[in-house]
Structure 1
């Protein structure tokens, strides 16, 4: 199972990055009607949520700046952004680095029981699987926002 999980990490993150790389920079900060955030926010949110759930950010991980919690945590929005906001290209670079660190997680960690279940997930491996599910949900939002923004831009 652990090999399959690592393959899923590579597939999910690779597909996420591939899709984000083709988004026109002119639309990443446009919030289309009916959406709560922007493509830029979704990219940062996936990075920050993964770092939090898998690596204990901000307490146990120093791979991201502390202000990412204020920018990209659940419930935040670009309208409230203040200070230094990383560019999409910086976030993509950090996503690639994060994938490398994800692939270095020891296989035996996947079977470790969580101190408390998280959204029905009981082991670290199940949590990794949930993180990948979460990433795909946000990719769907990014793809939908991209289509809406491109349609509006081309009118």
Structure 2
């Protein structure tokens, strides 16, 4: 089963990487009317959240660049950014490297209990690594849909 889930992670992340590679930098920071965030924020948020849902929930060291939390954690938005966020190329490299790290980290740990159950912003509580990690695929898909909608709106 672990191999199936690892393969699913690669499939989901492959879709994300294909999308980021097709996204021109010049539209990455457009926030169309009706949206709070831009394409760059969504890609960075995918990386930050998966890191948190795999490593952070187990109190392991999160290996993302430090600025990812200030730019891309839940509740942040580009309007509040101080400094220059990472380029799409940099975010793509982080997403690629993250996938490789997770493939090494999670085997044999799927049933590992979290020292403290994790409750996300919508009130869902998770108790094991597999629960948080599997939820991250759903989360990534939601943000990919947001990216598609922003891309369409920004391209018009």
Normalising by structure 1, report the TM-score: 0.89
Q: Within 5 Å, which residues of 2 pair with 1:5-154? A: 5-56=5-56, 60-61=60-61, 63-118=63-118, 119-151=124-156
Deviations 1:63-118 (A, max 9, x none): 22222211111111111111242111101001000000111124210011223433
Root-mean-square deviation (CA, aligned residues, Å) is 1.7
Unaligned runs of 5+ in 2: 119-123
Unaligned runs of 5+ in 1: none
Shift of 1:123: 1.9
Normalising by structure 2, report the TM-score: 0.88
CA distance in 2, matches of 1:65, 1:120: 27
Structure 2 CA distance for partners of 1:69 and 1:106, relative to 1, 3 Å: closer
Judge conservation of contact 1:121–1:130 (CA < 8 Å) in 2: no
Judge conservation of contact 2:55–2:62 (CA < 8 Å) in 1: no
Runs of 4+ in 1 over 6 A off after TM superposition: none
Q: What SS does the aligned partner of 1:104 have?
A: helix
